[in-house]
Structure 1
Amino acid sequence: MTIPLTIHHDRQTVVHPAIADLIESYPLAWVTSRLGDASIATPLPLVADYDAESRLTAFIGHFALANRHVAALRADARSQILFSGPQAYVSPKHVANRTWAPTWNYSVARFDCRIAFDIDANDKALRRLTDKMEAMCGDGWTVDEVGSPRYETMKTHIIAFRADILGCDATFKLGQDEREGDFETITAGLEDQTMVAWMKKARG
């Protein structure tokens, strides 16, 4: 299944539920850009920003100030942000028909963005990310538990940013011309239950 999606700068497009599910479930993304003639990439956990009409508008995150990527993005704010969801090799051993070719299932989303730094938003960015992740793991830890002196020092070593979304496309490759009955055989045989769940969800 392939889902093309363009989110225009006028924010008129509501993000596809499958894409929202991907970025919410797998928040660690590759933030990529150019540094002169070279490419540069940093893995960062990001928080999605939605408007009142559920339109995806931006991502919130932070860099370590010592990361050379900060200088690169100050020189050229354009960035492509890449999210990758569940992925798995699917062997013909799961299909009764041995002529069926193996495949690799995956889910990815690519966002064209423009990044703006805001050091005054460091506290807000840290709290949003921590609150999101703690909600997912159910512990309820907050940044205040670090203690004021240490937390204030930590904030001086980072810089928050907002990545405004200019466009997006995503690919959900969660099957391959299975004959009737093969899909059930594959999902019954795959050990990766996360992939199985995503395949079944895509199948509807």
Structure 2
Amino acid sequence: MFTQHGNEDVRRLVAQYPLAWVLSEAAPITTATMLPMLGQYDEDGRLTGLLGHMSRRRPLYELLSAKPQAHFLFTGPQGYVSPEHSGRRNWGPTWNYAALRIEAEVRFDEALTETAVARLVETCEAGRKEPWRAPELGERYDAMLGAIIGFEARVTTIDATFKLAQDEDDAVLRQLVEAHPDEAMRSWVRALNRDRLR
């Protein structure tokens, strides 16, 4: 039940919560790094890749250069759900959340560095009155580009959990959508139960 999702759910989670833990299969967890990632999709909207960049000084860069299998862990909306939100005192509290666990083959490429930075900046600056652009750093921009490297990660496995009230009866589901104090959580509960809330 909680593993049922659509391509649009995965895309939305990566877009709204792009900061992922990146880990090497071959290394201790202490080398894990948090990086903002951008999704790449096929014509059907299926996640096929991730685009990012990292510092060349990170141990993870050396590890993934030697063995390019990586795990990307995304955490989406999450929060405590009280019986108060369900409208029933005999209802047990729970924790709702969404998460993606992705396995991918990483390919570092200097030619991707500027593209990865520009796309991330454009995505994060979208909608601002005067969007910032990386070249505004002047000479520091070239120095920064030399210290990082772009990469693509070809997705090989996606394991998703969207635990967002799909197991609740209709009355509790509607109450949660109305009463939970976190608007992001309410939005995700609505999205994952769209057929039942029409």
TM-score, normalised on structure 1? 0.86
Taking the TM superposition and a 5 Å limit, the aligned residue runs for 1:1-204 are 1-3=1-3, 16-36=7-27, 38-39=28-29, 40-52=31-43, 54-135=45-126, 139-147=130-138, 149-175=139-165, 177-204=167-194
Greater relative CO, 1 or 2 (CA 8 Å, sep 6+): 1
Q: CA deviation at 1:98?
A: 1.9
Asked whether the equivalents of residues 74 and 101 of structure 2 are also in contact (C-alpha less than 8 Å), the reply is yes
- One-letter code of the match for 2:115? K
Could you give the per-residue CA deviations for residues 48-75 of structure 1, whole angstroms, max 9, x where no partner exists?
A: 1224554432111111111111111112
Q: CA deviation at 1:139?
A: 4.3
- Residue ranges of structure 1 left out of the alignment (5+ in a row): 6-14
Q: Distance in 1 between matches of 2:86 and 2:52?
A: 43
Q: Distance in 1 between matches of 2:49 and 2:168?
A: 37
Moved over 4 A (4+): 136-139
Q: Distance in 1 between matches of 2:46 and 2:174?
A: 35
RMSD: 2.0
- Residue ranges of structure 2 left out of the alignment (5+ in a row): none
SS in 2 for 1:112: strand
Q: CA deviation at 1:176?
A: 5.8
- One-letter code of the match for 1:192? D
- One-letter code of the match for 2:185? M
Alignment match, 1:10: none
Could you give the per-residue CA deviations for residues 136-190 of structure 1, whole angstroms, max 9, x where no partner exists?
A: 656422112111x110011111111111111112111001643342222222221
- One-letter code of the match for 2:132? W
Asked whether the equivalents of residues 34 and 72 of structure 1 are also in contact (C-alpha less than 8 Å), the reply is no
SS in 2 for 1:97: coil
Q: Distance in 1 between matches of 2:129 and 2:92?
A: 41
Asked whether the equivalents of residues 166 and 193 of structure 2 are also in contact (C-alpha less than 8 Å), the reply is no
- One-letter code of the match for 2:3? I
Single out whichever of 40-49 and 89-98 deviates more from structure 2.
89-98
- One-letter code of the match for 1:153? A
Could you give the per-residue CA deviations for residues 108-136 of structure 1, whole angstroms, max 9, x where no partner exists?
A: 11111011111232111111111111126
Residues matched between the structures, number: 193
- One-letter code of the match for 2:186? V
